[in-house]
Structure 1
C-alpha cells in the first residue's frame, strides 16, 4: 500500500519532533543565554559599557529552559522519583506504580496548564528593559506543561503496552544505563 508523498514526509517531521524537539529548544536557549551573558561580561569589563536588557533576556530564556526541561526529563524518564516503594515489587508491580505516578503527574500538568492559560490571558504588562509583553514569559509554563502532558501520555501508553505484552526485561526510570 503506497502512502502519498506528503504523508510520508509529514510522518518523518512528526517523528523528528517527537525525538528531538525539547533537545533543540534547550540547546538553542542555552547557547543564546551563554552568548548574551558572555557579551555582557565582555562589554562591562573590557569596554566599561553594558547591555541594559541582557540580564532580563537571560532570565526569561532560563525560565523557558526550566519548563521545557521538565518535558525533556519526563521524555527521558529522568524526572525526580522515589523508587524505594517500587523496589519492593516485581517488574509488573513497578510498571503499575509507574503508571499511577505518571497519571498523577499528568493530572498535575493538566491543572497547571489550565491555570497557566488563565494567567497568560490576564497578563497585560510589559517587561521593564525589553518592553516585550509578559505573556511570552508566562507562556513558558503553558508550553512546558503541554509538552510534559504529551510525554506523560506517551509514557503511560508505553507502560500499558509493557503490561499487555508482559515485558519483564526492561528497567524503569534510572535503572537503565
Structure 2
C-alpha cells in the first residue's frame, strides 16, 4: 500500500526530473562537442526532442494532479463554493473525455507505426506512445480529482442540510 501511495504522490515528478536533467546533459554535451571539439553528435538533438515530447505529456498529467493546468476562472468567480465545484467537475469530465479519446486513437497509431527514427534508429512507436501514456495518466488524475470533487460536494450538501435543520429547529 505504501508503494502505491508513493507512486501516486511522486510518479510524474521523478519522471519529469529525470527527463529534464537528462535533456540538459545531452544538450550540454552537444554544445561542448560542437564548440569545443568542432564536431557534433548525430543523435543528441533527436533524443532531446523525443525526451521533450515525453516531458510535455507527462507534465500534463502532473499539472492535472497538482490542479495547475490552464483554466478560465472568470466564470467560476461568479459562483460560491458549491457552484465552483460543479463547474470544476464538468470541466474535468470534458477534459477526461478528451484525454480518453486521445489515448484511444493514440494507441491505434502506436500499434500501426512501423517506421524508425532517422538518427537513433529506434521505433517511432516509442515517441508516439508519449501522448498515449501522458493522456492515460491524465485520465487517472482527472478521475481522482473528480472523485475528490464529488466527495467535497457531498460534504457541502451534508453541511447545508445540517444548517437548514438547525435553523428550522431554532425558529420552531
**Taking structure 1 as the reference length, what is the TM-score of the superposition?**
0.88
1:34 aligns with 2:24: yes
Matches of 1:28 and 1:138, distance apart in 2:
19
Determine if the alignment matches structure 1 residue 140 to structure 2 residue 130.
yes
How far off its partner does 1:166 sit? 1.5
How far, CA to CA, are the matches of 2:34 and 2:78 in structure 1? 56
Equivalent pairs, count: 157
Q: Which runs of 4+ in 1 moved over 2 A?
A: none
Verify: 1:67 aligned to 2:57, yes or no: yes
User: How much does 1:49 deviate?
Assistant: 1.2
Deviations 1:17-62 (A, max 9, x none): 0000000000000000000000000011011111100000000000
Superposition RMSD in Å = 0.8
1:110 aligns with 2:110: no
Distance in structure 1 (CA, Å) of the matches to 2:127 and 2:50 = 6
Return the match for 1:57 from 40, 47, 53. Answer: 47
Aligned equivalents of 1:144 and 1:91: distance in 2? 30
**Structure 1: stretches of 5+ with no match in the other structure:** 1-10, 168-177
Other structure's SS at 1:166 match: helix
Residue matched to 2:156:
166
Which ranges in structure 2 are unaligned for 5 or more consecutive residues? 158-172
1:122 aligns with 112
Structure with the larger helix share: 2
The separation in 1 between residues aligned to 2:39 and 2:2, in whole angstroms, is 47
Give how far 1:139 is off: 0.4
CA distance in 2, matches of 1:76, 1:112: 21
Q: CA deviation at 1:165?
A: 1.1
CA distance in 1, matches of 2:124, 2:33: 27
Aligned mates of 1:78, 1:165 — CA distance in 2: 24
* Structure number, greater radius of gyration: 2
- TM-score w.r.t. the length of structure 2 is 0.90
